Amino acid sequence: MALAVPMALLDESVSWRDLAIRSIASSIIDAPTVRRHKLSNTEISNQNYVLVRVMLENGVEGYGEAATLGGPRWAEESVESIKSAIDVYLAPVLIGRHAASFEENALRLSKAASRNNAAKAAIEAAMFDAVGKSLGLPVTTLLGGAVRSSFSIIWALASGDAGQEIEEAQAKIERREHRRFKIKIGFAEPSVDIQRLRKIRTALGSDVEIIVDVNQGWSEATAMRWMPAFADLGVSLIEQPLPAAQIEQLGRIAARTSIPIMVDEAVFTSAEIIRAGQAGSGSVISLKLVKSGGLLELKRAAAVAGAVGMELYGGCLLESGIGAAAHLAVFSTLPKLEWGTEQFGPKILANDLVLEGPTFRDFEVHLAQGPGLGIVLDEERIKHMTRTGN
């Protein structure tokens, strides 16, 4: 059996048997947000997660997280289906296996269930966390080593109320937390969305970067009509204006604008990334664990996207400090991350799920420090927010 962790890195006090998986447990967390968060097809005031705990034979526990947005709307998974997939199909195939056999374990998960990417990613993150803690190494080392420890951080404005969003953005700038903003649109008439964008641009000034996310909310004809307004407003990036299946149509839109198009929901697999690249559907890709299905696959997705000429953007699905730490561990090992990241999820929660994790200061998010993912759970808060009866 090929070892995923070089023997030279193994602490002599840690035997290979110590790294065997004793148990995998999952629970559903319902965490209130500080404000409503609107997308083209839903809005939330609570964010839902599945917390995964992987216990090794040495007693070390690792943590992973799967996030969704308002149930099976953004993708097919919900927290209920994720927990069921983990408990019934995925966890049983890993019990007793060596947690550090990351590639073999990923193959076992793939055979146990098709897709279910968020569920698989949460388990893999927990295994990486547990192995890293056992060896006294950060997950970044297990992934090849970090080339950066902090990232330019983007904040999403998504209440739909221009006045509230301007106030929110100005407060972020004053506290030196954020000066790059992604504005969610597509849930109102295009003329109303453009008017809202214009108010925000006027209030924040030309020096503040604005990205727009249509969340698949427009048709090709609507995009052809209204996207020129984005250029007038100095928008730097447009995310997924058309439905995910409309790859060729998105290519036609991309060819008509000088603003880069970012693909998100349209690309989950490497084959989809290649297809989007060949169709010219986007010059930027949003990277997410819930799409790739694991830390290793996320690195592969970044490589494939780079090979077809796409720049990289660190996406998010409003993860807590647990999921954010896993994403940032991967992002830190990528040779390039041209657009930084929007892993702001911990800050949109009324209360984060970790006592220690990624930190936010000076317009950047900083990688969590310490072995594994570098996180310490807030067990009391998690207990309070854990859904019962599941």
Separation CA 117–CA 47 (nearest Å): 18
Confidence check: pLDDT of 8 > 80: no
Number of domains in the chain: 2
Q: Is residue 319 part of a domain?
A: yes
Same domain as 109, residue 150? no
What is the residue range of 63's domain? 7-137
Same domain as 371, residue 302? yes
Q: Higher confidence at residue 240 or residue 388?
A: 240
Instruction: List all residues 6 or more positions away from 17 whose beta carbon is below 8 Å from its beta carbon.
Output: 57
pLDDT above 70 covers what percent of the chain?
95
Known catalytic membership, residue 177: no
**Mean pLDDT lowest for which of 4-8, 117-121, 147-151, 226-230?**
4-8
Backbone φ and ψ of 58, nearest 5°: -85, 0
What's the mean pLDDT in 58-83? 92
pLDDT band at 347 (very low <50, low <70, confident <90, very high): very high
- CATH number reported for the structural domain that contains residue 202 in this entry: 3.20.20.120
What's the mean pLDDT in 294-310? 98
Q: Tokens for 156, please give them.
A: 């999403």
**CB distance 100 to 60 below 8 Å:** no
Known catalytic membership, residue 199: no
Same domain as 154, residue 130? no
Confidence check: pLDDT of 16 > 80: no
Separation CA 302–CA 209 (nearest Å): 24
What's the pLDDT score for residue 11? 54
**CB distance 31 to 49 below 8 Å:** yes
Same domain as 180, residue 85? no
Same domain as 212, residue 80? no
Q: Is residue 1 part of a domain?
A: no
What's the pLDDT score for residue 69? 85
What's the pLDDT score for residue 194? 96
Separation CA 126–CA 10 (nearest Å): 19
Same domain as 118, residue 263? no
The pTM for the full model equals 0.94
Same domain as 50, residue 20? yes
- Please pick, among 184, 291, 299, 347, the residue that the annotation labels catalytic: 184
Same domain as 38, residue 109? yes
Angle (deg, nearest 10), helices 295-307 and 117-135: 110
Cα-based angle 16, 19, 23 (whole degrees, multiple of 5): 145
Q: Tokens for 340, please give them.
A: 């930084």
What's the pLDDT score for residue 4? 44
Cα-based angle 246, 216, 340 (whole degrees, multiple of 5): 105
Q: Is residue 266 part of a domain?
A: yes
- Please pick, among 77, 272, 342, 364, the residue that the annotation labels catalytic: 342
For residue 248, count CB atoms less than 10 angstroms from its CB and return exposed for 0-12, middle for 13-18, buried for 19 or more: middle
* Backbone Cα Rg of the chain: 20
Same domain as 329, residue 242? yes
Same domain as 179, residue 79? no
Q: What is the 3-state secondary structure (H, E, C) of the chain?
A: CCCCCCHHHCCCCCCHHHHEEEEEEEEEEEEEEEEEEECCCCEEEEEEEEEEEEEECCCCEEEEEEEECCCCCCCCCCHHHHHHHHHHHHHHHCCCCECCCHHHHHHHHHHHCCCCHHHHHHHHHHHHHHHHHHHCCEHHHHCCCCCCCEEEEEEEECCCCHHHHHHHHHHHHHCCCCCEEEEECCCCCHHHHHHHHHHHHHHHCCCCEEEEECCCCCCHHHHHHHHHHHHHCCCCEEECCCCCCCHHHHHHHHHCCCCCEEECCCCCCHHHHHHHHHCCCCCEEEECHHHHCCHHHHHHHHHHHHHCCCEEEECCCCCCHHHHHHHHHHHCCCCCCCCCECCCHHHHECCCCEEECCEEECCEEECCCCCECCCEECHHHHHHHECCCC
Look-up of token digits 């149930």: 71
Instruction: List all residues 6 or more positions away from 315 whose beta carbon is below 8 Å from its beta carbon.
Output: 264, 286, 287, 288, 341, 342
Same domain as 180, residue 33? no
Average pLDDT, the chain: 94
- CATH number reported for the structural domain that contains residue 83 in this entry: 3.30.390.10
**CB distance 304 to 270 below 8 Å:** yes
Same domain as 113, residue 94? yes
Q: Is residue 375 part of a domain?
A: yes
What's the mean pLDDT in 359-388? 97
pLDDT band at 71 (very low <50, low <70, confident <90, very high): confident
What's the mean pLDDT in 216-243? 96
What's the mean pLDDT in 226-248? 96
Q: Tokens for 226, please give them.
A: 């209204």
Confidence check: pLDDT of 32 > 80: yes
Q: What is each CA distance from 148 to 72, 274, 367, in whole angstroms?
A: 34, 27, 9
Q: Is residue 236 part of a domain?
A: yes
pLDDT in tens, 90-129: 999 999 999 999 999 999 999 999 999 999 999 999 999 9
Confidence check: pLDDT of 87 > 50: yes
pLDDT in tens, 128-183: 999 999 999 999 999 999 999 999 999 999 989 999 999 999 999 999 999 999 99
Confidence check: pLDDT of 84 > 80: yes
